[in-house]
Amino acid sequence: MRENFTFVWEDIKAEPGQFVTGNVKVAELSHGSPVYIPVLVVNGAKPGPSLWLNGAVHGDELNGPMAIRNLLPKLDPGKVSGIVIATPICNPFAFQARQKNTPQDGLDMDMQFPGDPRGTLSQRMAHVLFEQVREHADYLLDFHALGTPYDALPYTVFKRVPGAGDDVCDRAERMARVFGGTAHCRVDLSGNLNELPGNVKGFLDVQCLLNGIPSFMAEIGSGGQIQPDMVEFGERGILAIMHDLGMWPEHPATTERIARYLPEHPVTLTRRKFLYTDRGGIVVDSAPSGTFLKKGELVCRIVDMFGTVKEVVAEEDLYIIAHRDNPPVDTGDRVSFVGVEWEERADG
């Protein structure tokens, strides 16, 4: 447990018992204008852990930032034990462009941690953020959404990372399960993921784990939009973690609107993959997110103006994490994100 301390980051200063907001400079535009990220701090009146909340490392993922923005001003610092530090829009360039990657260098900022103070823009912003995270965070929750073209229910991703202690990874898994979701993904980085190309070791949560900070990804809904039930789910998840860490005295309520995202026995996925189309066309009849398919059952159909050009069927038993919601697809586009191995089913 940390003793009370005054949090200082550039012009932001939060004494114990205070809720403070401000901006931190991360870059400059070509004509000299500064670029800032918003920071919110609830510094509790009582000693306790430091929980860092992060969002919009991908600029089209909006539900997490809105959950942070809605919840933190409602927290009474007098009831908080410890400190909550939030960077809800940590990649302002991608956010401004309404896209995943930083447009100036084309990089996924979430693959650039711990960053480089002499690197590209994404690497420099990652460095500015991670230096503060490494110094101040005891735990970190990294908000994501699956991406604008997809429909997804809320789920979590926690990782087993070579070089990170088992205890740190175990505590990250506990955080994810306390946060809740329709599914939990345990990703083992000791093997070849074959999910996404790029530097998976550069993920913010991975670098946190390697630095002894339990961290996980909360994937809440779809990108490119604000979904009120997903925002509410994110708010409840933050409070659930704070309660479990002894930072907040009350267990959060579960409303009828989000109860369906908190099954008694959520599935634990241990291997995932994307399904791609080898034909262009329009996706129809997609299997809903959160459902199980048997081998041979229909995942979706690809149609054009003349008929069906391709039926995508399950080549093995599957769990649908997310399906394509933006129907037009080209050859090689993803039509579904699926789990192919799991430990238990959502129906028990």
SS (H, E, C) 185-237: EEEECCCCCCCCCCCHHHCHHHHHHHCCCCEEEEECCCCCCCCHHHHHHHHHH
Distances 115 to 48, 61, 101 between C-alpha atoms, Å: 28, 21, 15
As given in the structure block, the two tokens for residue 5 are 């301390």
- DSSP class of 294: -
Shortest CA distance to 336 belongs to which of 303, 287, 302, 294? 287
3-state helix, strand, coil in the chain (%, to 5): 25, 35, 40
Confidence (pLDDT) at 193? 62
Q: What is the pLDDT of residues 194-245, one digit of tens each?
A: 666 678 899 999 999 999 999 999 999 999 999 999 999 999 999 999 999 9
Determine if residue 190 is left, alpha or beta; phi over 0 gives left, psi from -120 to 50 gives alpha, anything else beta: alpha
**Within the chain, what is the greatest distance between any pair of CA atoms?**
68
Confidence (pLDDT) at 236? 98
Confidence (pLDDT) at 325? 92
Confidence (pLDDT) at 194? 60
Q: Is the dihedral of CA 112, 115, 120, 122 positive or negative?
A: positive
What SS3 state is found at 76?
coil
Confidence (pLDDT) at 199? 85
Q: Which domains does the chain have, with CATH numbers?
A: 7-259 (3.40.630.10), 270-342 (2.40.50.100)
pLDDT along the chain (348 residues), means of 10: 92 98 97 97 98 98 98 98 98 97 97 98 98 98 94 97 96 98 95 70 97 98 96 98 98 95 96 95 97 98 95 97 95 96 65
Q: Indicate yes or no: pTM above 0.75.
A: yes
Concatenated DSSP letters of 90-129:
S-HHHHHHTSSS-TTT---GGGSTT--TTS-HHHHHHHHH
